[in-house]
Structures are given as C-alpha cells and as structure tokens.
Chains A and B, each alone.
Chain A
Amino acid sequence: MNAPLKRTPLFASHEALGARLVPFAGWEMPIQYQGILAEARAVRSASGIFDVSHMGRFFLQGSAATALLEWVVTNGVSDLEPGRARYTLLCNEAGGILDDAIFYRLEENQYLLVANAANTQTIWNWLQHWTRRFGEVEMADRTNETAMIACQGPDASGFLETLLGADVAPRPFRFAQVDIGGAPVMVARTGYTGEDGFEAILDAEQAVGLWARLLGLGAVPCGLGARDVLRLEAGLPLHGNDIDTETNPVEAGLERFVRWDKDFCGAEALRRAKEEGPRRLLAGFRVDGRNIPRPGYDIQNIDGRRVGTATSGGYSPSLDTNIGLGYVDPALATPDTTLVIDIRGRSIEAQVVALPFYSRRRMKP
C-alpha cells in the first residue's frame, strides 16, 4: 500500500503556485493554494480551476459497448445521443453503490466513463469482469496519458467563448471536441460545484498550457478542499462519504438517476429495496450555532435517541452557516424536522433542509 504517490501532468504548476499537496487516493494532489474559503468564494463569484486529472478516464468501444454500459450503470445509455453526457451510479448485485460517475457518448459505439479516483481500480475491474459476458468491448484506461481540468464559476462560460473562437461552446451536459491553441481538447459542460462551467480533457503534454491560459484569463486555482466545500453546498454526494457499497440509490435520494424500466446490475435488489421502503434516507441539515458537524457524528432525534450518522459536514461560505448530510430514519428526513447532532458530546440542534443547500439559480436571480 506504500506505492509512491502519482503526480498529475500539472504537478509542477501546483508547486509553482505554492499549493499545499496531500496524498489523495494514491495521488499527490493540491488541497489548497491561497485558502479553501477564498477559493470556494472565487468559484461562486467569478471562476476557479481544479486539476481533476486523478479521476479515472476509461474509453470503451465496440459493438457491445452500449449493452455493457447499460448493464453496469443505473441511468439510461441507449437513449443518450452522441455528444451528450449523463451522471449515473454503478451498483453491485446487492444494489450497493460502487461509484458515481459521468459517462459521455462519444460515438454510437464509443464512450468515456469518468470515475472517482479512489474507485478507479474497482471500476476498471468491474468493467473487465462484465466485458467477458458482453464481449466485443475494447477498453482503454487513458487516465495517465491525459489530463482533466475543471473550470467552474460564472466567468467560465466567457472563458470558453474566448478560448474556442469559432468553435461553439457546448450546452450543459453536452460536450464537443475542440481546438484550443492548436491542442485537441474535449470540452464538456459538466462539473461538481453547483456552478456553470466546463471540464476539459486533453493530452497530458498540453495540460500545462491550458492551465496557464486559464490562469491568465483570471481563473483562481482551487484545490480539493474547495471542491469538497462546493459540492457539499450543491448537495452533491461524495462517494466514500455519503454513498458507498453499504448504501443504495433509493436511500441516498438518487432515484432520479435510476432507470427502473431497464435491466441492470443491482436492479433486482433495488426494486426490492424500493418496494420495502428505505430504512433510512440521506438528509441535508443546517446546524444552529457555530460548531461544525463532521462525518461520523451521531444524529439524534429531539429526545436524544440515535437516529443516524452524519456522512459529510462543514462550514458553508456561501450560506455562512454549518451544513451536513447524513442518513436518518425516513420519518425524520422531511424538511423542517429538528434533529440533534452530537458534536463531541455537545447536543447541537439542526434543521433538515431540502437539497441543494445552494443553488445558483435560487441565489443569483
């Protein structure tokens, strides 16, 4: 387990910017540059760029590629047009969540699947495993030979126009193969922050150039710390915290990414789970006072009985309050329910709120 940490093609750029680098899922990644809160605020008010090259990038092609994906992901594949992307979950036979991912339909029989860094090996093995059943799928792991940069925030669309020139910026959950300064780049209108923005996938050698170009346009370099703050504000679950193989999409409130009308791995178990009704639900809550709820803290009802566990939590700079996610008894997952979080022995009241905590449409009319 003590293999040397991997470095992305942007490692030297991070060092030059004075980033604080930490081990993350086998990679040496920037957790922050100037500071997590300043970076998170920059993304909400202007723009930020993130090196997300550590995420797994798997290319699948072949006559059975659609059938394979349709089996391993919960969301619909066949009805996705080439040039579009979709968020999905991947479940095991028991309906537990192996990972959440975005897949991109490149061509009729060609896809890109972007998996979480921590699950790269699991998902690769999982795809390989099912390939044997479906046949005729060629798989290529291009994580190391490519880079991925996320540019997020209200200024991002303006950057795209500047960078793309004659090329047209893709609309949300669409992507385009474009040319940026002579480099071929796949630009997708996707992200993990709750802001408008894009993610660029390009050859590793071209990454430093695009990163510098975006910095030159005024994008603020942001680390994994800000990314976690932003995704929590946007109510987006983090695999390993809020969802994992012990949780399923029904209790995680992610049913809208499950196609009940198709057959897929885990479908049977999930149908049963849905029929029986979830034993717990993932709820968002807002904490009174200034103590921060953190993953692992007990959640109680107002009588002090334990009803669940917090899976994420932190300070929200956009709302200037403390927020969290956690699994609770379904009866207590409704907005305005009062919960109590055991913050290191102190009983702190929390209110269940509808997700997302932050929505750019709601906050910025």
Chain B
Amino acid sequence: MNPDDRRYTKEHEWVKVEGDGKARIGITAYAVEELGDVVYFELPNAGESVSQAQKFGEVESVKAVSDLFAPVSGEILEVNPELSNRPEAVNEDPWEKGWLLVVRLQDDAELGGTMSAQEYSDLTST
C-alpha cells in the first residue's frame, strides 16, 4: 500500500511535506520491487539543490542502474546517512528508514504536478 500522507511521481519517487517548509524524498515500494537488491546510491550532498523532474542521482541494484528524479525543487538539507553503508535499508523499508533526501521546499505549487497515493496506485497497478 502506498501511504496517503505523501505525493508521488510517475518516476516512482515520493515526497512528504513535513512542516517548516521541509520535504522528505524517497523511492516507492513499487520502484524498490522493480529494482531488486539495491547496492549503491549515488546522491548529491547537503547544500546542493535539486530541481523538479531533473535527475539528482542514481541507484544501482544488482540488476540495473536507474536515474533518480526530484519530485520537487529545493536546497538539500539532509542526505540519509544510513544509505551510504546500508543501501539495502531501502529494500527493507522504502517509506521510512530508506528515505533519500530532505529538501527545503522551494515552491509549494510544484506539488500540484505530483500524484495522490490513489492516482499512483492506479498508475502502478495497470
């Protein structure tokens, strides 16, 4: 089930607005299922910025490498420190433990271009 406390993109990222203008970003359980065992995240550093729909990193799984696309724009405040040592945390728990970035949300209006949990579920079940 896709939690309905966040928004989704067709590239299978989620974004959760957490107050104070912060937004947490991750990849969905569907994406993780498709990727299989994740062995490496290539992520930017705190202080850098991401732009909506632009590539911000890569995820290497045993099977393939995939680009990561930002669901919203903003300056990166935090990068999940656990992923550098235990990228498999995303396989275990993509919704909480396996988050990727926290950004300062640049423009609330960008969320309008994302999907609800229901819309995302419809997309991934077809």
A interface with B by C-beta (< 8 Å): 31-32, 35-38, 225, 229, 290-292, 294, 314-315, 344
Contacts of A294 in B (CB 8 A): 64-65
8 new A-B contacts at CB < 8 Å, known A36-B36, A290-B39, A290-B60? A32-B36, A36-B37, A36-B62, A37-B39, A291-B60, A292-B40, A315-B40, A344-B65
Contacts of A36 in B (CB 8 A): 36-37, 62-63
Q: Mark B85-110, 1 if CB is under 8 A from A, else 0.
A: 00000010000000000000000000
Q: Which residue of B lies closest to A292 (CB)?
A: B60
Please judge, given known A-B contacts A35-B91, A291-B60, whether A315 and B39 are in contact too, CB under 8 Å.
Answer: yes
Q: Report whether A292 and B42 are in contact in the complex, using a CB–CB cutoff of 8 Å.
A: no
Q: Report whether B40 and A225 are in contact in the complex, using a CB–CB cutoff of 8 Å.
A: no
CA distance A290 to B83 in the complex (A): 12
Sorting the interface of chain B by its residue count into under 10, 10 to 19, 20 to 34 or 35 or more gives 10 to 19
Q: Report whether B63 and A225 are in contact in the complex, using a CB–CB cutoff of 8 Å.
A: yes
B interface with A by C-beta (< 8 Å): 36-37, 39-40, 42, 58, 60, 62-65, 91
Contacts of A292 in B (CB 8 A): 39-40, 60, 65
From B42, B58, B62, B91, give the contact of A314 (CB < 8 A).
Answer: B62
Least CB distance, A81 to chain B, in whole angstroms: 40
Contacts of B36 in A (CB 8 A): 32, 35-36, 225
CA distance A36 to B39 in the complex (A): 11
Contacts of B63 in A (CB 8 A): 31, 36, 225
Contacts of A229 in B (CB 8 A): 62
CA distance A294 to B60 in the complex (A): 11
Q: Which residue of A lies closest to B58 (CB)?
A: A344
Least CB distance, A3 to chain B, in whole angstroms: 25
CA distance A38 to B64 in the complex (A): 17
Q: Which residue of B lies closest to A39 (CB)?
A: B37
Q: Report whether A291 and B62 are in contact in the complex, using a CB–CB cutoff of 8 Å.
A: no
Q: Which residue of A lies closest to B64 (CB)?
A: A294
| 15 contacts across the A-B interface (CB closer than 8 A) | A35-B37, A36-B62, A37-B37, A37-B39, A225-B62, A290-B39, A290-B40, A290-B60, A291-B40, A291-B42, A291-B60, A294-B64, A294-B65, A315-B39, A315-B60
Contacts of B37 in A (CB 8 A): 35-38
CA distance A291 to B58 in the complex (A): 10
Contacts of A291 in B (CB 8 A): 40, 42, 60
Q: Which residue of B lies closest to A320 (CB)?
A: B39
Contacts of A38 in B (CB 8 A): 37
Contacts of A225 in B (CB 8 A): 36, 62-63
Contacts of B42 in A (CB 8 A): 291
Please judge, given known A-B contacts A35-B91, A292-B39, whether A315 and B65 are in contact too, CB under 8 Å.
Answer: no
Contacts of B40 in A (CB 8 A): 290-292, 315
CA distance A3 to B60 in the complex (A): 33
CA distance A294 to B118 in the complex (A): 36
CA distance A314 to B42 in the complex (A): 16
CA distance A31 to B40 in the complex (A): 20
Q: Which residue of B lies closest to A35 (CB)?
A: B37
CA distance A314 to B60 in the complex (A): 10
